[in-house]
Structures are given as structure tokens and as C-alpha cells.
Structure 1
Amino acid sequence: MQQLEMLIHQAQSLTANEQEVERMMQICNACRYCEGFCAVFPAMTLRLTFGKADINYLANLCHNCGACLHACQYAPPHEFGVNVPQAMARVRVETYQEYARPALFGTLYRRAGVAVVLALAFGIGLFLLLMMAINGTLLHPPLAGDFYQIFPHNLLAAMFGSVFVFSLCSLLFSVSKFWREISSGAGSLPALVETANNVLTLTYLDGGHGEGCNDEDDAFTLRRRRFHHFTFYGFMLCFASTIVATGYHFLLGQQAPYDLLSLPVILGTLGGIGLIIGPLGLLWLNLRRHPAHGDAAQKPLDRGFILLLLLVSITGIALLIGRNTSLMGVLLALHLGTVMALFITLPYGKFAHGFYRTAALLKWAIEKRSKA
């Protein structure tokens, strides 16, 4: 009787989207045709009931590759209407909102669309341009790439460092709360190694057979996986460039600008190219993807993040090209505006999905070892 009451209370606490995932998981657990496709279905088979934490875990374990939808005998127009990728996508964004810290900012996930991120990026850029105009002029004699003559190093470090630390801490607090609710076992080195491999190679974007996700015409393709790799490693190269430049500045006493063949510039250039190829490809796929493959309501969130990454990389490359011209100040302001917008939206945009998915992958790596 007590167990029945607990299940009733658990069902009542689920949102409508979580109840839909629970319904589909019960159907899938009886069928199990897709058990070899990705980590979601083996993890599902370890459960007879699906509570809120289980559903949030499985939703973030899903990579939205679409393979199960195309293989499912109960997919629409069947009366069961099973569409696991779409249902999981709807729950994922709810987890981002629910676990957001500060909690009040969780509603930003519903607003971080194209218009908002573009307005934020260009608004900050315009503010920096006005600062330049008040303190002098927008155009200036060539400064040999020394942008610290326009915005002092300490000012940039204080502004961008504080925002980045706040955003990163906010995101880590959010994911740690998510982890505490879904986790039920201690980690191990093999589990961590497997998780790192799954993250770095995007294992579960291979469709379960190595041929990739299903595109809008039902054909298998690895394009989504490859464009994600360009985006991820492009971002990591840009981040590495920033870390190396910081080391040059504080440890070696070498201040920017750095030569074109210096390590920070090479890393940043390669990263910028990756952050143009990857987001352009993902935007192209997003515009063409079949509505059944995801949640149409989240497209503004997806496209806003993609466009913001594109703007960061394009303005960064433009700044590198024009750093020895009188337009350097304008280009710098526009680039800093997009970077600041990216930092501000880190915990409340699509960037967060990588952290939640990593936590879910670690949970799966631990869980399957404990059940072996």
C-alpha cells in the first residue's frame, strides 16, 4: 500500500512532458527493439518504473539522433504515437529550467532565442562603441594590433573574468544539483575514461550502427556528428588560445599583440575556423531537419546559440585580419560584445546541454558497471 501511494505521488509530481516520456518508456520497455541503438534503451531496461529523476536522466542521455523514431513500429501515425527523440527534447529543456541557479533565471531558457542573443551581442557592442566615442574617436591611427590602447587589460580582465566566473559557477551549481538527484553510485577510473571517450567522440551520434543519424529523408548521415566536432573542438581551441595567452601575459611577461605564428594566434585561428564551419553546418541541418526529429519550440534556443557562436568566430577572425588598421577599435568592440553575450548566456542557453549530457553519460557508465 505504501509503495502504491509513493507511485501515485510520483506520478502526480511529473510534468505533462515527463508523463509522456514515462508512457513511451513503458511501451519501449515492453518492445526493446531499439536496445542496441544508444545508451538510453539499455538504461531503460534496468528500470520497471520511471520517476522524475529517471526521466530527467534518460532525457539528457538521449542525443536526439532519430534512429529509434525511424525504426519504431509504434511511431506516428500509429495510435501509440511513440516519438522518443521529440519527447526527450521537451523534457531536457525543462530540466535546464528546473535546475537553473539562481532559480529565478531558469525562465531565461524560454527567451534565449535569436532575437535576444543578437540584441544582447549588438547592444553590448554598441555600448563599447559609445565608450570609445566618448573617450576619443571610433577611428584611430593603426596601433599595430595593441587593443589594450583602446580598452586597458585590467578593465577587460575584470569585466569578462567576473561574468565568466559567475556564469561558470552558476552552470556548475545547476549541473551538480542535477547530478545529486540522478546519481546512485560512486565513480571509477574506467567509468570516467568511458565517459570522456563518449563525450570527445560523440559516440551516440552514430545511430547505434556507425552510419550516423537519420536525416530528413530517412537516410543515414554523419554530418551532424562531424559538424558537432568542428564546433566543439573549435570552441576548445579558442579556449586553449585564451589560456595560453593568459600564461604568456602573467607567467612570461609577454603582452599582446602576439605574432601571427605565435601559439595563441594559431590556436585561436584554427578554433575560429572550426567555429565557422561547425555552426554553419549545424544551422543548415537545423533549418532542414524534419519537425518530428525534435521539439520545434526549441528551435529559437538552438539557432540563437548557433548564431552567437558564429558571430564570436566571425568577429574574431575579422579582428585578426583588421588589427593593423584604423578599424581595429570598431572590430574589437563588436567582438567583445559577442563574447560577453556568450558568457552571459552560458548557463541559460543551449551551451548547458553539453554539461547535463556529460553528467548523464557518467551516470550510465557507472550504472552499467554496478548492474553487471
Structure 2
Amino acid sequence: MQQLEALTRDARALALGELLPTPHESEVSRQLQICNACRYCEGFCAVFPAMTRRLEFGKADIHYLANLCHNCGACLHACQYAPPHEFAVNVPRAMAQVRGQTYADYAWPSALGALYKRNGLTVALVLAAGLALFLVLAVRAKGTLLHEPLAGNFYAIFPHNLLVLMFAPIFLFAALALAMGVRRFWRDISPGQASGVAMGEAGLNVLRLKYLDGGHGEGCNETDDAFTLWRRRFHHFTFYGFMLCFAATCVATLYHYLLGLQAPYALTSLPVLLGTVGGIGLLVGPAGLLWLNLRRHLLHGDAAQKPMDRGFIALLFFTSLTGLALLAWRDTGAMALLLAVHLGVVMALFLTLPYGKFAHGIFRSAALLKWAIEKRLPGTLKLGGD
């Protein structure tokens, strides 16, 4: 039955021209054929042992392996066939180019996939500034932009129900769009049955960012062939900072609806503590990632995606910066202004979430689960993505 479904899906895709390889996919296939013959990097990360289970690479295989790649750069500096060799093997760049294609191809709704190419730093900052200005003018029109201290009562400026009406649809749409996109990706890579052990291993690899250690524990290559763990550390600050801020919002929601406790909450309360620690993580992590991004070796990654990378980093950083500023000065007459600016940045972040760099974490998690399942299967070679 699964084979019949796969054949039907491939026939439909072929009729639409979707099985014809793109230049980026063809380049990945070419390079992996060389890597499969060499196998020097087999112990570096999950990409290479997953590669050795195949002799040919179909579209689904290429997109799976591209999202399994963490762009650590170790294989580039170890490769004897890297530029300026005539084979010009640059796995990190080729994989990054296909990842960008993955996000666009699997976007939901499909018509919005082109937004990935436009989701750059300028768009992110202009959107955030525009939304913040709109909210500032709305507060000013109410005559509450400059006010007497309100003891941190945000709802005196924006009522709770209004905030829910503003943000709930955006958040739910972002979650739905990402879920639908990764669902299509998951079906196409034919993952097989996920066991509890495989899910546990994949989850642990996601939480540890295992493959940002270069496969040997010494870290990634950034500006040259020297190893560093800073990229992994800054990713941890960013990831856990985001999760703690999300947890703070969830706890505050439970406080409001289940316990009847309304904001503002004390500085020692759980929502504020979680948000503060998470906010600090979202300052340190994105700042560090931007610093590394600006210094990274020219042969690493896809230069065309740097505006999208930096746009996402900037929105995370300014979300945290404005949030911590709001917390610090919430008992002053500037609270309304700071609140409007913070809400504008947060809204811009969630509006761009389904069609920006955030998607890489979702697709990479799915690829890691696929690998955790696949490595437990018999080691039969897979031909041409069949």
C-alpha cells in the first residue's frame, strides 16, 4: 500500500513537472556521488552515514539530506576535492541552497513560498518599525502615550481581549503553516514507522544540537579551518531563550485563565523570571550568531540566504531588547510607548515566522527523526529515491 501511494504521488508530481531536478538538486547529487566514492567524512555527522545507504539520490533524498546537514563546515575544510579542485565539492553551500528551496517548495499555502526569497533584513526591520509606529500612533490617538505611572498595568493601554484578538490569529496561522509544510515534507521523505527509541534519540539530538559539534566534539569551522564551539553555544542561548520566553507566555496564560491572576506580575513571579532569563538568552544568542554570520568563511553556506538569516536574528534580538526595556521601565510614564514598540516587533516576528529562517529548525528536526528511524533499518541500499 505504501509503495502504491508513493507511485501515485510520484506520478502526480511528474505530471506537474515536480520530479525534474533543479540545478541546486543536481549539484547536490553530483557532489554526493563523489562523496560516496571517497567516504573520508563518513564519521563527521549524520549526513554521510545516511548518504552511504544510497547509490543514487532522488529529490526526496536530496531534500532530506540537505536538512540533515547543520552547515558546520567541517567537511569543507577536510575535503581534498574542495575548491579550487576541479571537482569543486562544497557540501555546506550545496546543501544550504537546497534547504532554501525546501522551505519554499513545502511552504503552506504554496503560493506564499516565494516569501522566503523576500524575507530579508530590510523587510524584517521595516515591518517591525512600521507595526511599532502604527501602535505608537494608536496609543497617541487615545492620549495615553505619555502618562502617569500605571504600576505596570499593560491592560490599561491595550485591553487583554484586544491583545488576544491581535496575536492569537497570527500565532495560530504561523503554527498551522509550519505544521502543514513539515507534514508534506515528512510524507515525501517516506520516513517509515517511528519508534519511541528513535523519537527519543532525535529529540535529544535536537535539544543538544549534537551535530553542531563537527562530528568530533570540537565544534564548527567559522572563519577558517579552526574549530570552535561558539556557534553551538550561541544557538543554545537562542533556542532555550526562545523556549523560556514562550514558556513565560504559557504560564501567564494559565495564571490568567485558570487561577484568575491578572498581569502585572511581581518580578519574583514565575512568568517574569522565565521571561527575564529567556530574554537575556535572546540577547546573547542572536548577537553572537550575527557576529559569527558576519565573519563566516565565504565558501560556507548560501550567501543569498544571509538577508533572511540576519532578518530573523534581528527580530529575535529586538524582541528581547524591547521586552527587557519594557520590564525595566514598566512602572514609569514611558510604559505605553515601550509596550507599543515591543508589541510591534513581536507581531513582525510572528508574521514572518512561517516564511523565514525559523523553518530550518522545524525541517531539521524532522530530518533528524528520519535519520533516527533509518539507521535502525536493515542496511540495504536505496536506488534513486524509490
Given the superposition, is the C-alpha separation of residues 124 and 74 from structure 1 closer, same or farther in structure 2, using an over 3 Å criterion? same
Q: Say whether the 8 Å CA contact 1:206–1:213 is kept in structure 2.
A: yes
Using the size of structure 2 for normalisation, the TM-score is 0.93
1:27 partnered with 2:34: yes
Structure 1 counterpart of 2:302? 295
Aligned to 2:171: 164
Q: Where does residue 3 of structure 1 map in the other structure?
A: none
Aligned-pair CA distance for 1:12: 6.8
Aligned to 1:60: 67
Match of 1:108 among 115, 123, 147: 115
The correspondence of residues 1-372 of structure 1 with structure 2, limited to 5 A, is 13-371=20-378
Q: Distance in 1 between matches of 2:222 and 2:114?
A: 31
Q: Aligned in 2, Cα 1:142/1:161: closer, same or farther, shift over 3 Å?
A: same
Note the C-alpha offset of 1:184: 3.3
- Measure how far apart 1:218 and its partner are: 1.2
Which range moves more in the overlay, 135-144 or 327-336?
A: 135-144
* Residue aligned with 2:100, SS: helix
User: Alignment identity in percent?
Assistant: 69
Q: Contact 1:11–1:51 (CA<8 Å) still a contact in 2? A: no
1:321-359: per-residue Cα shift (whole Å, max 9, x none)? Answer: 010011000100010001101111111000010000000
Aligned partners of 1:75 and 1:83 also within 8 Å: yes
1:11 touches 1:19 (CA, 8 Å); kept in 2?
no
Deviation per CA, 1:210-254, whole angstroms, max 9, x where unpaired? 000012121110000000000000000000000000010001000
Change (3 A) 1:322 1:309: same
Please give the alpha-carbon distance, in whole angstroms, between the structure 1 residues aligned to 2:165 and 2:345. Answer: 17
Name stretches of at least 5 consecutive residues in structure 2 with no aligned partner.
Answer: 1-10, 380-386
Paired letter, 1:324: D
Q: Is the 8 A contact 1:235 1:271 kept in 2?
A: yes
Q: Which amino acid aligns with 2:147?
A: H
Q: Distance in 2 between matches of 1:221 and 1:353?
A: 22
Tell me how far 1:137 sits from its aligned partner: 3.3
Q: Which amino acid aligns with 2:103?
A: Y
Q: Which amino acid aligns with 2:77?
A: H
**2: CA distance, partners of 1:57 / 1:246:** 37
Distance across 2 between alignment mates of 1:100 and 1:192: 24
In 2: Cα distance, 1:159 partner to 1:291 partner? 41
Equivalent position amino acid for 1:273 in 2: I
- Whole-Å Cα distance in 2 between the matches of residues 326 and 133 of structure 1? 13
Q: Is the 8 A contact 2:144 2:157 kept in 1?
A: no
The answer for unaligned runs of 5 or more in structure 1 is: 1-5
TM-score (norm 1): 0.96
Closer, same or farther: CA 112–11 of 1 in aligned 2, 3 Å: closer
The alignment of Structure 1 onto Structure 2 pairs a total of residues equal to 365
| Mapped contact 2:50–2:371 kept (Cα < 8 A) | yes
**One-letter amino acid of the counterpart of residue 19, structure 1:** S
C-alpha distance in 1 between matches for 2:375 and 2:216: 20
